[in-house]
Amino acid sequence: MAQVHSNGAQLGELADLIESGQVKVGIDSVYPLADAAKAHERGEAGHVQGKIVLRVVE
């Protein structure tokens, strides 16, 4: 099994592309951290169209 290692420079470039709008991230739903169980249930239910995001700070 291969392991992936984060590369800070590449992550910075990716962040710049997202911020500029050149790369778009599809978001299915956003949940506060307190509702992590609900977010997990959403993922298990299937038919997710994008990422499920946990909001850490309100």
Domain assignment present for residue 51? The answer is yes
What would the pLDDT profile of 21-57 be if each residue is shown by its tens digit?
999 989 999 999 999 999 999 999 989 999 999 999 8
User: Tell me, what's the pLDDT at 55?
Assistant: 96
pTM of the model: 0.64
Count of domains for the chain? 1
Evaluate whether residue 16 is within a structural domain. Answer: no
**Domain assignment present for 11:** no
Report if residue 47 sits inside a domain.
Answer: yes
Domain of residue 49 covers 26-58
State residue 40's pLDDT score. 96
Amino acid occupying residue 44: E
